Structure 1
Amino acid sequence: MSSRQLRKLQQQRDLERSKDVAARGSDGSGEVEEPVLAPKPRPNLFAALGGEDEDSGQDEEQEDDAPDRVGQDLSEAPPAASTTRGKKKKKKKRAKASADAPEVAADDQRRGVEGDEIDRAIKELKIKPQTPKDPSTERASDGSGTRVSELLGINTYHLKAANEMRNLFGREVIESANVEEQQENNRRRRGHEQQQVDLETFLREPPGAAKLPEVSLRRNIFVQGRDHWPRQLAGGLTMTEVQRAPDGSWTEYAYVHDKDYDSVQALFFACVQIGDPMRMVHLLKRAPYHVSTLLQVSSVAKQDQNMSLAAELCERALFTFGRVTTPSFRQNIERGRARLDFRRPENRQFWLAGYHYLKSLIRKGTYRTALEWAKLLYALEPKDPYATRHLIHFLAIKAHESRWLVDFLDELVDQSGEDRDIAYLRQSLVLAKLQIGDLEGARRDLVDGVRRVPWLYCALFQELNLDAPPSIWGIGADSNARSFWVKLYIYQTKDLWNNAQATGLLQDVARGLSRVDTAALPSDDGPADLGAVRLAYLEGQTSLLSVAPRGLLDSQPNYEFDPLPPPEDENIFTAEGTQLPWRDPRQRGQGQAALVARMQEDEDDDEIMALQEADDEELRRDLEAHMGRGDEPGLLATLMQMLGVGRGAGTGASDRGGDDESVQAGEDDAAGLPGAWPAGEGDDGQTDATG
């Protein structure tokens, strides 16, 4: 039913009400209060069902709205208005009401049939907006929600460090810092105009260059773009959906390289084999959004102690990944249901970029953003290929997300028990409960921890320069596996334990316990998995690498752009360029020379052409000049004349009357290259010299 018909029904109801009032007024004194005849129009409750006005029924609506306008005129009339005028209007209304009685009856019948439909429509309108806004209701309805998905749901607001910086220091401070940085960059750029530019200036776009659209910079799901980044496409990187779980609990996606991107990947690997950083820089200038090159040049900047540029290049790599994400991927990471398969080399670049960016966030002190990134890297692959669980537990405490950490560690125990390293990670529950004020819970967890992993707490006492109590004194890690987990945990959390509250509780609990019986504990812990070894390799801690499994640490291939990848038979290859690290060196060498030549031709194409044209022009001028002086002596004859040797010394050719041999020598010299030995002299050169 349209809004016009609904308004018409409302007006007819008002007419019936006014007719009854008029009938009662005629039986009485004849004086009727005017406002009763024309009540204020009620708000239209059915406006959501359709438009307010329809062009096809404007005339009818004007006629139907006439009673309302009459009522408004009466309500606005001055008090001195006569009662006879009101009686005439009452008569007109009664006549119109009687004439419209059949139509009203028909409308009432239609209303009886359509009333239920309207009520159902209203109920649907009330229910539908609420359904997608309640994730718990949605998870309960499809039965696919899990506790892990709820815990690992990502808030994209916390993925961007700029938001946390504004929360920490205020918007005005951040804006002023950005202005100062821009001014400093401008001064540095002007200072390098007449000098050789540095790496950061070389990679920046020149002033006045076209910029990326503001929407692309601001709405990227991973990082916020920068104005000076090149205005180019992602270069052939895309994302596709691979498969979905039957119960809807997860959806797998994959990054894909098209033919153009794969060719750049092959050029990148050729540069890696050569080992020349400047070739990598020039390749990045040509392909500014090639992820592997961005990460490799970021490593070069880090070696040059330019940590700011290194972090910015990691941001650009993540920005590239964010540009090609699909809407469903963005929705699923918010629910903790998006997955990427680590066996695909294209996907592994995302973990590497995310790890390096996370480390830069830690250096800046933006722990809340770093925690969100660690959660994202963990949620994308349940096997945790970068062992980000060993980053999550201490980042959660630094970001004051201890309540979330308690739930997360409890869920880990429910899923996998205390196998391998979970028992070590659970020791951070003591710190988490201290932070939220649960002293009794922290004490209970600490008692259980000292009895479960006494060698960890003995090493922790030593790191904190505290005397180990008799309950754990002399209990150390007796295997490389235990030593690895102990050193990794202490490396991450030593500073968190080094405070008065934590050390006081630690000493109090450990001294109050009896000697721990190690015979009742497991004989050894599970060895480090490839993900934990990969994390130790990236951290670069020699103390960790010394006790890491050598079989995993020495596996090949192992490149900086793809550290410790899975074995070849476990990879899922979809592009030619990603297979090059696994090929035999002799097979790689067959096409490497051609790739390098192609790269050099492409990157310096304009410059090489300009130089070649200049060289050709110069050579042409030299040859023309030499051909033009065919009757002049060659370079050797000129030198002999300067030294006073030969027939040209002291007298010119014209003075000798045009010697035939001299003319012949000049012609032969003109026919050869500049400065060539005259062909006509041969063995008689001495005769020419003596005249």
Structure 2
Amino acid sequence: MSSRALRKAQRELEEKQQLEKLSHPESDESDDEPIVAPSNKASMFAMLGEDDDNEEKDSDEGEKGSDEEPVVEAPAPQQRTTKAAKRKKKKNKRGKEPVPQKKTKDSSNSQQLDEIDRALLALSLSSHSGGDGASDTLSETISPELQELFSILSVDTQHLHAANEMRRLFGRAALEGHDDTEAAGGRRRGRGAQQVGLAGAVRGNVQSGRNLAAIGRRRNIFIQGKEEWPGATSGGLGMEVVEKRKDGTVEYRFVHNMAYQDVQKQFETCVASMDPNRMIQLLRNNPYHISTLLQVSEIAKQERDHTTSGDLLERALFSFGRSIHSTFSRNLSEGKARLSFRRPENREFWLAGWRYISNLGMRSTWRTAFEWSKLLLSIDPEGDPYCIRLVIDRFALRARQPKQLIDMVSSDYLQDLWSIPPNLATSVGLAYSQHNRPDLARSKLRSAFQQYPWIASRLCRELEINPIPKPVWGKEPEGDYETLLCELYVTKAKDLWNTPEATSLLVEVASTCDWSDYQTRDKVIFDEVQVARHVILTDTPALIGLLSRRLTARYTSTSDPLPPTDNLPSYDLSDSRSHANSNMENTATILHEYVNLQTFFRNLIPWLFEGETAINPETGAPPTTADVERAIRESGVAPEIIAQRTTRLEQLRQYLRDIEFDPNMDEDDEHRFALTEDEESDEH
């Protein structure tokens, strides 16, 4: 216990005895004077120690002996006796057993002090355990499966910083050189004037960025601050506790104050306008607004400016990090922090984390990517809305963390929760191989191949193994989702198998598989929306083409891909549409934008707007969905841009339906609604 707590207990005891003395005056006539008196405060503080920092020093002095006496003001003889007894007690505690003494009033008071100390210690421990919603009694009632889950999902915040991994890999000097290159990003990109302009436009005011970086290095659990970042507040982003659950977990949520909500409405207006310059200007005025950071990061990514894109993602996570609740970091490190995907404010954290993981993969900082993927999995392991379990095995193997992957796959709780997917069942064989357990590696891999033989067949083809082992030859996935899961794993993990040891293990196990129970294997069961969200976020056109059109049609926003049907907004943004419309100058402006969008789509797919007589000039037949998709791919326009403009076109069409035009419109008014040939050419 600290000296501060002891001093507090001592003061309470003095006050109690003083009250007893006043209420019982006959006690003053006793022969024995009380040990503690109001005039003894200086000696008591000297006995207990000046402060917490001097505890060890006092202990060492007590062990050396009583040669050096602390300076006190006029100590009473009885006080000196108590001081000597205290030192003797310290010696006996570290050495021999204390000699039993006759019980006196002094020893009774000392025993009373010990009881107070024990009570205060128990109170301190109880308050610490209750801070995160879990007490010692509660931890005893948690099932072993949940305790194992908490251990598996615990996050080491030191591994969330890519700088720490780069420092371990390349040394401090290499990291400093990397930081210098990052700081000079706009100048080093040379002749790309557009990219330099974007990087400079989003930089903002950096006058107080130095202090921001210092604070970030000390306190931020997600991202370290940078000197070139704008020195501004988070703008009203915060976090609060939603619920402390009986299983020991704590649910949090990010919250927006009124000022942040106003900026969020401005963001919705900028999205509706489809003007990137307005979005960048909004970011300059609000440099830590999460939605704007994520959207401008995508703009930079589309322009192949990955440095600026990654920097904006880090800035968003930095803003999240300095807005977290005081107990979030500890519960996260214990695997007990939870966030609800139903809340839009929380979904922004998922999206920023996912895109940051992709950025970490480009930099080959696999240990950091694995820790971030484990973080996104830990905050909602039951729902796993981004299907992190479909990629976490690759990060674990590349980060050389096979033990953590083995523990995850072996967890009974997660097995019942997920029905371990094909990628985890297959990768755990490689994990046992990395963990120097060859027998278990063969056993686990054989079990995976018997359940998912198409994984082995596809791997052999990708690695150009010739001849392909006969037991796996010709095995193909059944259904769209098995095909999708096969492509997701094999195309991303084939390099892990492209080593002599892994390839020989693959051929050996595939050659000895027995398919007698092939027809009785378990079917792959996944939430189709979660898988679709995962595939869309991978931004791989070949994989997106395997999704159902029913799901891809719901993808209308890059800032919130496929929101859940049970969305739980904290505030209403419906007035943002009317706010956007009020910013438009007049109906002519609306018509102008509507005609421009129609011109865009006519130029994109001209033969699609011929009505019932539409004919694809290449095939000579009516166009099909595949023809439209192929035309879009060949145009080079990003699918996200097309989706956004389609949504905006429908909004404008609905708006124009509600407008009552004046039948007496004159020629000048008609001219204002017309689109000139020059404007049409510029728009094209």
With the length of structure 1 as denominator, give the TM-score of the two structures.
0.66
- Indicate if the aligned counterparts of 1:205 and 1:228 stay in contact, CA closer than 8 A: no
Contact 1:239–1:326 (8 Å) recurs in 2: yes
Amino acid at match of 1:438: R
Aligned to 1:165: 166
The answer as to 2:109 corresponding to 1:109 is no
Offset, 1:172 = 2.7
Distance 1:591 1:177 in 2: 44
1:592 aligns with 2:580: yes
Deviation at 1:416, TM superposition (A): 2.0
1:587-615 deviation digits (Å, cap 9, x = unpaired): x75431324679xxxxxxxxxxxxxxxxx
Q: Which residue of 2 aligns with 1:572?
A: 568
Aligned to 2:502: 502
1: CA distance, partners of 2:491 / 2:459: 10
Is the 1:267–1:596 Cα contact (8 Å) retained in structure 2?
no
Q: Aligned letter for 1:292?
A: S
400-409 or 138-147, which moves further after superposition?
A: 138-147
- SS at 2:470's partner residue? coil
Matched, 1:473 2:488: no
Q: Deviations over 1:407-449 (max 9, x none)?
A: 1111267542773x62442111111001011000001112212
Cα distance in 2 for partners of 1:124, 1:560 equals: 56
Question: Counterparts of 2:195 and 2:153 in 1: how far apart (Å)?
Answer: 48
Deviation at 1:561, TM superposition (A): 0.5
CA shift, 1:392, in A, is: 1.1
Q: After superposing the two structures, state which structure 1 stretch, 406-415 or 367-376, moved more.
A: 406-415
1:444 paired residue number = 443
1:239–1:256 contact (8 Å) kept in structure 2: yes
**Alpha-carbon displacement from aligned partner over 1:347-389 (angstroms, at most 9, x marks no partner):** 1110000011111111111111111111111111130011111
* Structure 1 residues 368 and 412: CA distance shift in structure 2, 3 A: farther
What letter is aligned with 2:74?
D
The alpha-carbon distance between structure 1 residues 297 and 529, as it changes in their structure 2 partners (threshold 3 A), is same
Deviations 1:257-289 (A, max 9, x none): 222212211211121122111111111011111
Residue 60 of structure 1 aligns to a residue in which SS? coil
Q: Is the 8 A contact 2:370 2:396 kept in 1?
A: yes
**Cα 1:141/1:53, change in 2 over 3 Å:** farther
1:357 matched to which residue of 2?
356
The answer to whether structure 1 residue 324 and structure 2 residue 323 are counterparts is yes
Residue type matched to 2:561 in 1? P
Q: Is contact 2:212–2:227 with CA below 8 Å preserved after alignment?
A: no
The one-letter amino acid of 1:565's match is P
Inter-CA distance 465–214: structure 2 relative to 1 (3 Å threshold): closer
Equivalent residues of 2:532, 2:551 under 8 A apart: yes
Shift of 1:200: 1.1
SS at match of 1:170: helix
> Distance between the aligned counterparts of 2:292 and 2:424, measured in 1?
35
Amino acid at match of 1:480: D
Distance in structure 1 (CA, Å) of the matches to 2:442 and 2:60: 65
Which of 58, 61, 67 is the equivalent residue of 2:73? 58
Letter paired with 1:165: M
2:517 and 2:185 map into 1 onto residues whose CA distance is 63
CA distance in 1 between partners of 2:385 and 2:79 (Å): 72
What one-letter code is carried by the residue in structure 2 that aligns with 1:269?
E
Equivalent pair of 2:216/2:225 in contact (CA under 8 Å): yes
| Deviation of 1:151 (Å) | 0.9
Q: In the alignment, which residue of structure 2 is the partner of 1:535?
A: 534
Confirm or deny that 1:431 pairs with 2:430.
yes
Structure 2 partner of 1:401: 401
Please give the alpha-carbon distance, in whole angstroms, between the structure 2 residues aligned to 1:489 and 1:196.
34
Helix, strand or coil for the counterpart of 1:273?
A: helix
| Counterpart Cα distance in 2 of 1:474 and 1:270 | 53
* 2:294 paired with 1:295: yes
Secondary structure of the structure 2 residue equivalent to 1:240: strand
Indicate whether 1:236 and 2:224 are aligned.
Answer: no
Matches within 5 A, 1:124-523: 140-141=139-140, 143=142, 146-179=147-180, 181-182=182-183, 184=184, 198-205=197-204, 208=207, 211-218=210-217, 219-245=219-245, 247-381=246-380, 382-411=382-411, 415-416=415-416, 419=419, 422-466=421-465, 467-522=467-522
CA distance in 1, matches of 2:559, 2:414: 35
Whole-angstrom CA distance in 1 between matches of 2:422 and 2:180? 48
CA distance, structure 2, for counterparts of residue 290 and residue 207 of structure 1 = 16
In 1, Cα distance between equivalents of 2:515 and 2:140: 52
Give the Cα separation in 2 of the matches to 1:438 and 1:139. 37
CA 286–427 in structure 1, closer or farther in 2 if over 3 Å, else same: same
TM-score (norm 2): 0.66
Cα distance change, pair 180–396 in 1 and its aligned pair in 2 (3 A): closer
**Distance in structure 2 (CA, Å) of the matches to 1:312 and 1:197:** 14
| SS of residue paired to 2:383 | coil
Which range moved further: 494-503 or 421-430?
421-430
Letter in 1 for 2:297: S
Structure 2 vs 1, CA of residues 597 and 398 (structure 1 numbering), >3 Å: closer, same or farther?
A: farther
Contact kept in structure 2, 1:161 and 1:369, CA below 8 Å: yes
Contact residue 252 and residue 337 of structure 2 kept, 8 A: yes
**Cα offsets for 1:95-118 (capped at 9, x unmatched):** xxxxxxxxxxx9972233134335
Deviation sequence 1:114-155 (CA, Å, 0-9, x none): 34335546767998999979x997874453752111111111
**AA partner of residue 562 (structure 1):** D
C-alpha distance in structure 1 between counterparts of 2:526 and 2:415, whole Å = 19
Distance 1:43 1:128, change over 3 A: farther
Letter of the 1:545 partner, please give it.
Answer: I
2:538 maps to a residue whose letter is: E
* 1:254 partner amino acid: R
Evaluate the alpha carbon distance shift between residue 275 and residue 324 of structure 1 in structure 2; reply closer, same or farther with a 3 A threshold.
Answer: same
Q: 1:61 to 1:321 in 2, by over 3 A?
A: same
Q: Counterparts of 1:108 and 1:300 in 2: how far apart (Å)?
A: 81
Aligned to 1:612: none
In 2, Cα distance between the equivalents of 1:42 and 1:170? Answer: 40
Give the Cα separation in 1 of the matches to 2:397 and 2:552. 30
Q: CA RMSD in A?
A: 3.9
Letter in 2 for 1:112: S
Assess, with a 3 A threshold, how the Cα gap between structure 1 residues 575 and 138 changes in structure 2: closer, same or farther.
Answer: same
Q: Which residue of 1 aligns with 2:609?
A: none
| Aligned residue-pair number | 506
The code of the aligned residue for 2:582 comes to: A
Counterpart contact for 2:210–2:226, Cα < 8 Å: no
**Which residue does 2:673 correspond to in 1?**
none
Farther off after superposition, 209-218 or 432-441: 209-218
8 Å contact from structure 1 (residues 267, 595) kept in 2: no
Matched position secondary structure for 2:104: helix
The answer (yes or no) to whether the contact 2:207–2:230 under 8 Å persists in 1 is no
Q: Distance in 2 between matches of 1:207 and 1:377?
A: 31
Choose 392-401 or 120-129, whichever is displaced more.
120-129
1:27-46 mapped onto 2 (5 Å cutoff): 43-44=61-62
The percent of aligned pairs where both chains have the same amino acid is 32
Structure 1 position 60, deviation (Å): 1.8
Residue 180 of structure 1, CA deviation: 5.2
Larger Rg over CA atoms: 1
Query: Alpha-carbon deviation of 1:526?
Result: 2.5
Instruction: Give the letter for the 2:571 counterpart.
Output: A
- The aligned runs of 1:539-550 (5 Å cut-off) are 539-550=538-549
Partner SS for 2:502? helix
